[in-house]
């Protein structure tokens, strides 16, 4: 079954989001997406609802189930069946965080990485930067169980205390000055790593800085993908994507944002 517009009662919050977007109006380069799968198909110059290719809901669900089984094999006793890491971490800066297992990022509502992206990274000369990686459960899983070469993944975090060895790693604060990378990336992901902004009455400015910095490290045609379960960050994201960063097409869903850099 092809899915482009959710209609069931359990998806009413999404419909309410879309209705709010229609009330406020938005341009052709920015859309509040009616489906997470619209985000997957979003291309420059096309609104999600009109794009001819939509991801198959059942296929994504099946792949998510497959990932869940592999996750239990990869991290026995470490990650529960809901995809949550059993133990929190305390960073070198004294902050405590809950962690999400790989399967959380293959869910339809927080699809930061898809089967197609896995294949693209595995089979082609593509690379990915993961910002705010922490212990990198997702990235380690991509290497150990999905066949992506370790050299294709660069990890980044403000604190290197929990970052695993063996990956390219850059330590920096995403809110500060980003380092110069020796190559551009095809995918830049923020796996639940963007915190609610704290810039007074213009919180979207932090997000604008983060995404503008990421765009500078992204290949033309590349994608930035971020998930956020904390809904206090939704309105700042909304303001950020309405700013229409030059040369981008953006989709905003209730729990994720997607940006393509035009070729």
- Is pLDDT at 24 greater than 90 in this prediction? no
Closest CA to 213 of 175, 250, 160: 175
Residue reference for tokens 């930035």: 224
**Taking a C-beta distance cutoff of 8 angstroms, is the pair 111, 122 a contact?**
no
**Cα–Cα distance for residue pair 182/200, rounded to 1 Å:** 35
Residue reference for tokens 């898809």: 114
Domains of the chain: 9-261 (3.40.50.150)
Tell me the β-bridge partners of 190.
226
CA 198 and chain centroid, separation: 21
pTM: 0.79
The tens digit of pLDDT for each residue in 127-182 reads 999 999 989 999 999 999 999 999 999 999 998 888 999 999 999 999 999 999 99
Q: Which of 36-50, 53-67, 200-214 has the highest mean pLDDT?
A: 200-214
**Cα–Cα distance for residue pair 24/10, rounded to 1 Å:** 24
């Amino acid at each position: 079954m092809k899915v482009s517009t959710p209609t069931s009662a359990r998806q009413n919050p999404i419909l309410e989001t879309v209705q709010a977007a229609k009330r406020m109006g938005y341009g052709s380069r920015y859309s509040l997406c009616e489906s997470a799968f619209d985000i997957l198909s979003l291309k420059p110059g096309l609104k999600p609802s009109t794009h001819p290719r939509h991801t198959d809901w059942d296929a994504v669900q099946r792949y998510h189930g497959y990932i869940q089984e592999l996750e239990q094999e990869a991290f026995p006793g470490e990650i529960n069946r809901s995809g949550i890491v059993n133990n929190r971490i305390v960073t070198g800066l004294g902050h405590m965080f809950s962690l999400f297992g790989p399967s959380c990022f293959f869910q339809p509502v927080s699809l930061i990485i898809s089967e197609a992206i896995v294949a693209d990274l595995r089979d082609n000369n593509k690379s990915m930067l993961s910002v705010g990686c922490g212990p990198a459960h997702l990235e380690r899983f991509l290497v150990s169980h999905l066949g992506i070469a370790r050299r294709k993944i660069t990890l980044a975090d403000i604190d290197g205390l929990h970052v695993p060895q063996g990956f390219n790693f850059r330590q920096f604060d995403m809110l500060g000055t980003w380092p110069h990378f020796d190559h551009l990336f095809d995918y830049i992901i923020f796996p639940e790593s963007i915190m609610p902004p704290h810039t007074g009455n213009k919180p979207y400015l932090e997000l604008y800085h983060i995404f503008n910095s990421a765009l500078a490290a992204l290949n033309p045609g590349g994608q930035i993908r971020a998930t956020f379960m904390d809904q206090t960050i939704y309105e700042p994201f909304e303001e950020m994507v309405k700013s229409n960063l030059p040369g981008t097409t953006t989709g905003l869903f209730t729990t994720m944002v997607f940006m393509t850099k035009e070729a």
